[in-house]
Amino acid sequence: MVNNLVEVRDLVVDRGGRRVLHGLDLTIEQGSVTGLLGPSGCGKSTLMRSLVGVQQLTSGRVTIAGAEAGGKELRSRIGYVTQAASVYDDLTVRENLSFFGRVLGAASDAVAEAIATVDLADHADQVVGRLSGGQRSRASLAVALLNAPDLLVLDEPTVGLDPVLRRDLWALFHRLADDGAAVFVSSHVMDEAERCDRLLLMREGRIIADDTPAHIREKTQTDDIEGAFLALVDADSTEERDRP
Amino acid sequence: MTPRILLAVSQRVLTQLRRDHRTAAMLLVLPCVLMTLLWWMFQDLPGGLFDRFGPALLAMFPFIVMFLVTSVTTLRERSSGTLERLLAMPMAKLDFLGGYAVAFGVVAAVQAALAVALSVGLLGLNVDGPVLLLGLVAVADAVLGTALGLFVSAFARTEFQAVQFMPLFVIPQILLCGLFVPRGAMPGFLHGVSDVLPLSYATDAMQTLVSSSATGDVWRDLGVVVAFAAAALGLGAATLRRRTP
């Protein structure tokens, strides 16, 4: 049975007088890793902000477990990682996590657990500002894991990470999904597509494909997602030309 | 509002300050150095000038310093994404603002304790009223500075801009608070303006405390300062938006 945790209906968002999202419809299911792929600037972050409830919507609806996105009762059930590492540079990894843990009312052992999960135990008492970019973004990711959220919204969490770590993180996302969470991950790197259970391809504020990676390749008769993306864009512009 | 979250914010802010040795030292030592400078400057002049200017300065330090520190730190929260993350969590706006106000209130209490102890103990400032009340006024000033700093940080896009708000929000208050010209001797219009500026009341309170042991007026002035601080916190809360464009 498919269990949709997130439902987006006809979502339109304008930012700075420009339409960024053009009436999106999509769902995100529990227990799976859904990837959101598209070039930078196509509206991925805006869509993610809309799910978390920090984006002003122009029209349309986003509901999570039946409640309006951003509602009070949802705030402790969503883990959100912004593109820039949203942690305090002048605190240690442990201090950051303890602080956010207290805000969330997380269990006391959640901090050590989250640090271990993102493999930062060796750096737990280092000030975040002195860590590498990849370590900082892992510290930021750890914050999102503190309260075992039902929905994880991760905006490009694997950018700039070493391949081994990237593989480990994707394994982690799948473990979280197996435990019942809905994991929604964005990336502008097409080769991460194969790691998702389901893919949303996005371009210029529209979803141009929504299926499993295998089905998308099959339908477009291509070998990889990058090829599929190009085929879809080409087909789209041919259609536009052929319109009277 | 949740006390657990509010206290988590204050504790975090204090940890950040403790880590930043230079800022911590500036917050605590600088007022003492400036008070000493003032005392030294007036030392050879007759007329008890230190007793006249000292109290106003004691009112001003916590206000100016907290205004600056808060406007820059909250701006940093806005631009680094930590504020967005916190507002996506179960945090009320007043938890955030209150957390900052409590943390800087504590710093102000320590700052005031040091500056007052030095002024009264070593530099010979004559305080006729209760010294503790002097500290209380200083803490209220700090909370006022914090609240105003939070408010203006909403209108600055960079830390550079945030610092520029200082001359706009603070210097007119210093000029009109009665330090240079007694407020009663100002042109009517300016007197009216100084009546609606919070630092005037803070300065009045300090000056009354120094020159008389009657505390009725001090409590009234203190009430006005606290009311201004509460109003600024309310305005600050209004500028914190969960949903942004």
The answer to whether A215 and A221 are in contact (CB under 8 A) is: no
Closest-approach residue (CA) in chain B for A101: B8
The answer to whether A193 and A9 are in contact (CB under 8 A) is: no
Closest-approach residue (CA) in chain A for B99: A103
> B85, A88: Cβ pair inside 8 Å?
no
pLDDT in tens, A88-117: 999 999 999 999 999 999 888 999 999 998
Give pTM, 2 decimals.
0.87
Q: CB distance from A60 to chain B under 8 Å?
A: no
pLDDT in tens, B183-236: 889 999 999 999 999 999 999 998 888 888 888 889 999 999 999 999 988 888
What's the complex ipTM? 0.86
Q: Torsion angle of alpha carbons B105, B107, B108, B110, nearest 10°?
A: 130
> B245, A86: Cβ pair inside 8 Å?
no
Instruction: Give the whole-angstrom CA distance, residue A141 versus residue B188.
Output: 59
Q: CB distance from A70 to chain B under 8 Å?
A: yes
Closest by CA to A42, choosing from A240, A216, A210, A207, is A207
pLDDT score, position B135: 85
Place of tokens 């530099």: B123
- The minimal CB distance from A56 to the residues B16, B85, B244 is found for B244
Please state at what angle helix B131-153 crosses helix B159-169, rounded to 10 degrees.
130
pLDDT score, position A1: 45
pLDDT in tens, B20-37: 888 888 888 988 999 999
Closest by CA to A124, choosing from A155, A158, A94, is A94
- The minimal CB distance from B87 to the residues A54, A76, A102 is found for A54
Closest-approach residue (CA) in chain A for B21: A90
The answer to whether B149 and B66 are in contact (CB under 8 A) is: yes
Task: List CB contacts of A229: < 8 A, sequence separation 6 or more.
Answer: A37, A190, A201, A203, A208, A209
